[in-house]
Amino acid sequence: GLSARDIMGYCVIWTIVSGVIISGTFVILSFM
């Protein structure tokens, strides 16, 4: 099952992943 620690871990991972995707999108758009 999911514990609070697992949920926090997923939140951190998704925050990092979404941040990388968003910043990467801005970088790509700025170089286009």
* Domain span including residue 25: 1-32
Taking the model in full, what pTM does it have? 0.61
pLDDT of residue 2: 82
Whole-number Å distance between alpha carbons of 24 and 8: 24
31's tokens: 């170089």
Number of domains in the chain: 1
Write down how long the chain is. 32
In the chain, the N- to C-terminal Cα span, in Å, equals: 45
| 2-15 pLDDT, tens digit each | 899 999 999 999 99
Whole-number Å distance between alpha carbons of 23 and 31: 12
Alpha carbon 20 to its chain's center = 6
pLDDT of residue 18: 98
